[in-house]
Amino acid sequence: MASVTFEQVTKQFDDFTAVKNLNLEIADGEFLVFVGPSGCGKSTSLRLLAGLEDISSGQISIGDRPVNHLSPKDRDIAMVFQSYALYPHMSVFENMAFSLQLQGLSKTEVKKRVENAAAQLGIEMLLHRKPKELSGGQRQRVAVGRAIVRQPSVFLMDEPLSNLDAKLRVQARKEISKLHDELKTTFIYVTHDQVEAMTMGDRIAVMKDGILQQVDTPGNLYNNPVNMFVASFIGSPAMNFFGVEPVTDDGKTYLQLGQARIPLTTKLSGDRPITLGIRPENIYHPQYLPPDIAAVEIQATVNLIEMMGNELIVYLETPEKAEFVARLDPRVDLQSGQAIALILDANRIYLFDREQETVLF
Amino acid sequence: MEILYRLGSVLVAIAVGCGGVIGLFYLANYAINALPKPWNSRLLPWVYVSPALAILSAYLILPTIQTIYLSFFDGRSQNFVGLKNYIFAFTDPSMLVAFKNNLLWLVLVTGISVGLGLIVAVLVDKVRYEAVAKSLIFLPMSISFVGASVIWKFIYAYKPAGDDQIGLLNAIVVSLGFEPVGWLVERSVNNFALIAIMIWLYTGYCMVILSAAVKGIPEDVIEAAKIDGANSWQIFWRITVPMIRSTLLVVSTTVVILVLKVFDIVFVMTGGNQGTEVIASRMIKEMFNYRNFGRGSAIAVILLILIIPVMVSNIRRFRAQEKLR
């Protein structure tokens, strides 16, 4: 069990900076998820922590021990790889026992620990098989099993579910969360899938272009994104963005969005260009309005409708040709090409500096 | 005029040869197609492989049978002598030397060229100028046995003490203040000197094949082993070697077959004198120097029998490997 600290960590590959000045503290026993698009530096950060890559500058500590110059085996970590990286010439038992044998544990101790871990994961009956005789889901469990027998102080997982089909992935997600509850060890998990991140992480670190954008709980990331990237990355379908102009009329400030006027409660400093963000779930059909919203009407034309059963995902555009997505009540009856009026909840809008892409308040 | 005439006959020969083969195929094809339904599709493949089969049997199977037959006759192939030639092959002192030497060749060439090839393959994997290093080590592979022997004859060249040493090895030995060594005549070293040539020739081959296998090991398996706590030595023995095991066996058996057939190096360097005889050079001597067809054939059959199990295992392993792909 240990906390993990990244201090000013940078990783430079020739002329490409994979991770820039990463500062992050991960508490003991926390489940932290690195999430971001491919090439954002999330896997590199994990590999730096594992010791599979050398850091260019900065310091990484596990517990209160700096590990920059320790080899992977001395860092007291275990890792689950995306490809599982099982040893193909060894049986499941030997795969799981390998690290314990290298530690020099006695045969009986190795056997006991492997069997315990196998029982915990429900793979006791697979112990004598070779990896190529296993299904994808079973291999994934063996990879996790190989990590947990070592009882490391930090678990690293690099997209461990991305080779599973959708149904297995949901199940494996739950199992890993359960495992974390049982082991109460620090888990650091890398994924590009925001659903995995939201459902599993105590906290989520969102990265883009090697830079850490925001670290927060799933709820806070969703409700209080610090910039347009986080706002659009978390939530599906993604947040809609509109360019808006502040106008002052009768002493009150509004944001002009096409024909619609959205009243502003806070004063804007300066007059920089503004982008308004609103999530698809905060746009409603006038027939199905929840209580307690600040309704603003907006005109739009329907381009495409996706009936999901529990909801309608509707792709629309404003008369000014700004495209957006709304998530509507499934009882709404719409045809593509139809012109409709929809309701925005002005309480749930986000305002961003259009150039900096940072949130204004 | 003469040259034109020759050219003309060459062209005619080519035309008749190619045309004849093509015509033969057409004819056979036509004949097969004329047959009733189930038979034509069954026989058609055989029509196309039959020329190859015929040539193979003419050049491989018939001589083999002939050799086996001859091995039971005396030197002039006139009188049946039973197993006499085989008894000679297994009891004659010169043959025993050849067997002993061949065993030495087998163990040393296979062990060292495969071992060195593996070490270089693993080390070179991490080198910046990998291609250059590999090309240099692979280069001897493109030299024939005879060519290599000529090169090494200069390396091993011996002049009496006091003369200028033109051989590389003796030049070094003398400059260090020792007496020059007759590398190819001194019985304690000459076999090793010959074996070194074949190792030099085949280490590159082993390295290239093994290097491809080493590169086939996924990087993350090695990384997993590092995280599991294995050091480079443990990764080599417990991950790399077992994962390329089948390639190692194929390379080893290939070298074993080559070593069993070795003859040129011995023939060029020492002519089999001073106790450097191997089975194949002994066979050539009996057959062509002493014109004893019976003994020569018997040795050839023994060589064939020695090679067959290695061949079979090689083919089996190759098939098993193909299946895994």
DSSP assignment of A184-251, as one string? --EEEEEES-HHHHHHH-SEEEEEETTEEEEEE-HHHHHHS-SBHHHHHHSSSSPPEEEEEEEEEETT
pLDDT of residue B317: 79
| B217 and A CB contact within 8 Å | no
Q: Is residue B157 part of a domain?
A: yes
Give residue B50's pLDDT band: very low, low, confident or very high (50, 70, 90): confident
Q: Do A229 and A247 have their domain in common?
A: no
Q: Is residue A105 part of a domain?
A: yes
| This prediction's pTM | 0.79
Whether the Cβ atoms of residue A344 and residue A260 lie closer than 8 Å to each other? yes
**Taking CB atoms and an 8 Å limit, are B224 and A71 in contact across chains?**
no
Contacts of B228 in chain A (CB under 8 A): 73, 98-99, 102, 146, 150
Q: Do B38 and B141 have their domain in common?
A: no
What are B103-130's pLDDT values in tens digits?
A: 999 999 999 999 999 999 998 887 888 8
| Residue closest to A317 by CA, chosen among A299, A330, A329 | A299
Q: Is residue B82 part of a domain?
A: no
In whole angstroms, what is the distance from residue A244 CA to residue A259 CA?
11
Q: Is residue B81 part of a domain?
A: no
Q: Do A160 and A244 have their domain in common?
A: no
Q: Do A131 and A258 have their domain in common?
A: no
Q: Is residue A359 part of a domain?
A: no
Q: Do B128 and B56 have their domain in common?
A: no
Q: Do B36 and B165 have their domain in common?
A: no
The CA-based diameter of chain A, rounded to the nearest angstrom, is 84
Q: Which of A14, A73, A130, A151 to mutate to test the interface with B (most CBs of B within 10 A)?
A: A73
Residue of B nearest to A53 (CA): B223
Q: Is residue B223 part of a domain?
A: yes
Last residue of a domain, one of A199, A233, A267: A233
Give whole-number Cα distances, A273 to A117, A241, A270, B188, B234, in Å: 57, 13, 10, 92, 61
Query: Residues in chain A whose beta carbon is closer than 8 A to a beta carbon of chain B?
Result: 50-52, 71-73, 77-79, 81-83, 85-90, 98-99, 102-103, 146, 150
In whole angstroms, what is the distance from residue A312 CA to residue B279 CA?
84
Q: Is residue A112 part of a domain?
A: yes
**Taking CB atoms and an 8 Å limit, are A81 and B228 in contact across chains?**
no
Give whole-number Cα distances, A217 to A33, A221, B9, in Å: 10, 6, 90
pLDDT of residue B323: 65
Q: Do A191 and A285 have their domain in common?
A: no
Rounded to two decimals, the ipTM of the complex is 0.86
Q: Do B183 and B58 have their domain in common?
A: no
The helix/strand/coil state of A88 is: coil
Q: Do B124 and B64 have their domain in common?
A: no
Q: Do A68 and A83 have their domain in common?
A: yes
Q: Do A257 and A179 have their domain in common?
A: no
**Taking CB atoms and an 8 Å limit, are B226 and A73 in contact across chains?**
yes
| B325 and A CB contact within 8 Å | no
For B230, the closest of A77, A81, A102 (CB atoms) is A102
Whether the Cβ atoms of residue A113 and residue A71 lie closer than 8 Å to each other? no
Q: Do B203 and B283 have their domain in common?
A: yes
Helices (H), B264-324: 264-269, 279-284, 293-324
**Taking CB atoms and an 8 Å limit, are A73 and B230 in contact across chains?**
yes
Report DSSP state, residue A129.
S
Q: Is residue B87 part of a domain?
A: no
Q: Which residue has the tokens 């002519």?
A: B271
Give whole-number Cα distances, B7 to B1, B10, B12, B14, B15, in Å: 10, 5, 9, 11, 12
Q: Do A146 and A225 have their domain in common?
A: yes
The CA-based diameter of chain B, rounded to the nearest angstrom, is 86
Q: Is residue A214 part of a domain?
A: yes
**Taking CB atoms and an 8 Å limit, are B221 and A87 in contact across chains?**
yes
Whether the Cβ atoms of residue A344 and residue A263 lie closer than 8 Å to each other? no
Q: Do B243 and B173 have their domain in common?
A: yes
Give the domain range for residue A202. Answer: 4-233
Contacts of B218 in chain A (CB under 8 A): 83, 85
In whole angstroms, what is the distance from residue A341 CA to residue A297 CA?
6
pLDDT of residue B272: 84
Instruction: Supply the Cα-derived Rg of chain B in whole angstroms.
Output: 26
Q: Do B165 and B102 have their domain in common?
A: yes
| B220 and A CB contact within 8 Å | yes
| Residue closest to A92 by CA, chosen among A119, A72, A74, A71 | A119
In whole angstroms, what is the distance from residue B293 CA to residue B86 CA?
13
Extract the tokens encoding B125. Answer: 């994997």
Q: Do A23 and A132 have their domain in common?
A: yes
Contacts of B220 in chain A (CB under 8 A): 81-83, 85
Q: Which of B227, B233, B235, B247 to mutate to test the interface with A (most CBs of A within 10 A)?
A: B227
CATH of the domain at B182: 1.10.3720.10
More confident residue, B324 or B244: B244
In whole angstroms, what is the distance from residue B322 CA to residue B324 CA?
5
Q: Do B166 and B228 have their domain in common?
A: yes
**Taking CB atoms and an 8 Å limit, are A50 and B225 in contact across chains?**
no
Contacts of A71 in chain B (CB under 8 A): 226
Give residue A143's pLDDT band: very low, low, confident or very high (50, 70, 90): very high
Please tell me the distance in Å from B114's CA to the nearest CA on chain A: 21
Q: Do A180 and A252 have their domain in common?
A: no
pLDDT of residue A198: 94
Q: Do B260 and B295 have their domain in common?
A: yes
Give the domain range for residue B30. Answer: 2-70
pLDDT of residue A80: 95
Whether the Cβ atoms of residue B296 and residue B222 lie closer than 8 Å to each other? no
Extract the tokens encoding A171. Answer: 């199940």
Give residue A72's pLDDT band: very low, low, confident or very high (50, 70, 90): very high
Contacts of B236 in chain A (CB under 8 A): none
What are B254-302's pLDDT values in tens digits?
A: 999 899 888 889 998 888 888 899 999 999 999 899 999 999 999 999 9
Contacts of B225 in chain A (CB under 8 A): 87, 98
Q: Do A253 and A113 have their domain in common?
A: no
A269 pLDDT above the threshold of 70: no
Q: Flag the least confident range among B22-36, B66-80, B197-211.
A: B22-36
pLDDT of residue B325: 52
Contacts of A77 in chain B (CB under 8 A): 227
Looking at this protein, which amino acid is placed at residue B111? G
The helix/strand/coil state of A132 is: helix
Q: Is residue A183 part of a domain?
A: yes
Q: Is residue B84 part of a domain?
A: no
Contacts of A89 in chain B (CB under 8 A): 242-243, 245
For B220, the closest of A73, A85, A99 (CB atoms) is A85
Q: Do B130 and B31 have their domain in common?
A: no
In whole angstroms, what is the distance from residue A340 CA to residue A317 CA?
10
Number of domains in chain A: 2
Number of domains in chain B: 2
What are B12-40's pLDDT values in tens digits?
A: 999 998 998 888 888 888 888 887 777 77
**Taking CB atoms and an 8 Å limit, are A85 and B238 in contact across chains?**
no
pLDDT of residue A361: 67
**Taking CB atoms and an 8 Å limit, are A87 and B239 in contact across chains?**
yes
Q: Is residue B34 part of a domain?
A: yes
Q: Is residue A313 part of a domain?
A: yes
Q: Do A20 and A128 have their domain in common?
A: yes
CA angle, A274 then A280 then A285, to 5°? 110
Q: Which residue has the tokens 């700096």?
A: A66
The helix/strand/coil state of A347 is: helix
Residue A146 Cα to chain centre, angstroms: 25
Q: Do A267 and A171 have their domain in common?
A: no
Give whole-number Cα distances, B191 to A197, B186, B277, in Å: 68, 9, 9
Q: Which of B228, B237, B323 to mutate to test the interface with A (most CBs of A within 10 A)?
A: B228
In whole angstroms, what is the distance from residue B191 CA to residue A19 CA?
60
Task: Using a pLDDT cut of 90, give the percent of chain B over it.
Answer: 45
In whole angstroms, what is the distance from residue A174 CA to residue A156 CA?
17
Last residue of a domain, one of A233, A259, A285: A233
Please tell me the distance in Å from B231's CA to the nearest CA on chain A: 9
- The mean per-residue pLDDT over the stretch A137-159 comes to 93
CATH of the domain at A275: 2.40.50.140
Please tell me the distance in Å from A354's CA to the nearest CA on chain B: 42
Please tell me the distance in Å from A87's CA to the nearest CA on chain B: 6
**Taking CB atoms and an 8 Å limit, are A98 and B245 in contact across chains?**
no
In whole angstroms, what is the distance from residue A151 CA to residue A179 CA?
12
Give residue B178's pLDDT band: very low, low, confident or very high (50, 70, 90): confident
DSSP string covering B149-201, please? HHHHHHHT----TTSPP-SHHHHHHHHTTPPP--TTT-TTTHHHHHHHHHHHH
Q: Is residue B129 part of a domain?
A: yes
Q: Is residue A361 part of a domain?
A: no
In whole angstroms, what is the distance from residue B296 CA to residue B287 CA?
5
Whether the Cβ atoms of residue A127 and residue A114 lie closer than 8 Å to each other? yes
Residue of A nearest to B241 (CA): A89
B324 pLDDT above the threshold of 70: no
- E strands of chain A, at which residues? 4-13, 16-26, 31-35, 57-62, 65-66, 77-80, 154-158, 186-191, 203-208, 211-216, 240-249, 252-257, 260-263, 274-278, 283-284, 295-307, 312-317, 323-328, 339-345, 350-353
Q: Do B10 and B127 have their domain in common?
A: no
For A81, the closest of B220, B234, B239 (CB atoms) is B220
Last residue of a domain, one of A181, A198, A233: A233
A1 pLDDT above the threshold of 70: no
